[in-house]
């Protein structure tokens, strides 16, 4: 089913909540902004990520590589777990005040997106934090042998900026929680999140929460 973008026209322009820089793989820091709010440009930019991955798969097919026989390799190399995500459909679904959309943007487009739900009760502290419904970096910002990586640290920077927003705007405590895709578990554990297995979902998604102490350490960590 094709979905139009007209419903996005009702939203005001996104609000820039911070500006900074993001590191390219060539070692240069380039300007970026963190935007809060839905827009047609941002959502369509995210939906174009699928085209990037599709082009890689089509190239492999043209080269005679059997996709079915190499499914596990592709799954690991270009992270196909979120390949099916339709950001336009998600934008039509998560529209109430409990949900906030954040985007990391550079001069060449949307580099990352984070959809949050709030408030969420912390397991560790019994205080309000936020919950990450979806977090994704553009596929060209991921390590892969099939394409050159463009930017580093997009997901980490988004998480940091979203934390600042909820701490400063809603006076929430440090910390956040989420359920993780299998391929993302290593990243979340690397930044200090802790799996609380009793809250895992039956579909295999593991529940993670960032403690107050680890959240503070993450915010204090300088970008690469």
8 domain residue, yes or no? no
> Quick check: pTM over 0.85?
yes
Per-residue pLDDT, 70: 80
Rounded to 5 degrees, what angle do the CA atoms 126, 131, 137 make? 150
| C-alpha of 65 from chain center | 30
38-54 residue pLDDT tens: 999 999 999 999 999 99
Q: pLDDT-based confidence at 223, cuts 50/70/90?
A: low
Q: What angle do CA 128, 133, 139 make, to 5 degrees?
A: 135
pLDDT in tens, 124-178: 998 999 999 999 999 999 998 889 999 999 999 999 999 999 999 999 999 999 9
Q: How many distinct structural domains can be found in the chain?
A: 1
Q: Residue 222: is the preceding peptide bond cis (ω within 30°)? A: no
Question: In terms of residue numbers, what domain contains 198?
Answer: 13-220
**Spatial distance between the Cα atoms of 134 and 51, rounded to a whole number of angstroms:** 19
- Can you tell me whether residue 179 is helix, strand or coil? strand
State the CATH number of the domain containing residue 76: 3.40.630.30
Is residue 213 assigned to a domain? yes
On whether residue 4 sits in a domain, the answer given is: no
Q: Count the Cβ atoms, other than its own, within 10 Å of residue 182.
A: 11
């Amino acid at each position: 089913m094709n979905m139009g973008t007209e419903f996005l026209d009702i939203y005001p322009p996104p609000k820039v909540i911070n500006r900074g820089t993001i590191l390219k793989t060539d070692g240069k820091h380039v300007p970026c902004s963190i935007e809060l709010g839905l827009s047609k440009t941002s959502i369509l930019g995210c939906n174009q990520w699928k085209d990037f991955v599709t082009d890689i798969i089509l190239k492999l097919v043209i080269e005679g590589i059997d996709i079915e026989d190499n499914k596990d390799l592709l799954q690991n190399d270009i992270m196909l777990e979120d390949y099916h995500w339709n950001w336009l459909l998600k934008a039509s679904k998560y529209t109430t005040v409990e949900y906030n959309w954040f985007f990391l943007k550079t001069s060449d487009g949307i580099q990352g997106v984070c959809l949050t739900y709030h408030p969420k009760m912390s397991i560790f502290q019994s205080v309000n934090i936020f919950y990450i419904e979806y977090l994704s970096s553009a596929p060209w910002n991921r390590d892969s042998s099939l394409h050159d990586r463009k930017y580093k640290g997009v997901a980490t920077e988004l998480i940091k900026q979203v934390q600042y927003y909820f701490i400063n705007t809603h006076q929430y405590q440090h910390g956040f929680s989420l359920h993780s895709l299998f391929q993302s578990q290593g990243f979340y554990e690397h930044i200090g999140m802790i799996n609380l297995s009793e809250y895992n979902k039956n579909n295999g998604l593991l529940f993670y929460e960032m403690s107050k102490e680890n959240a503070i350490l993450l915010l204090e960590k300088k970008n690469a």
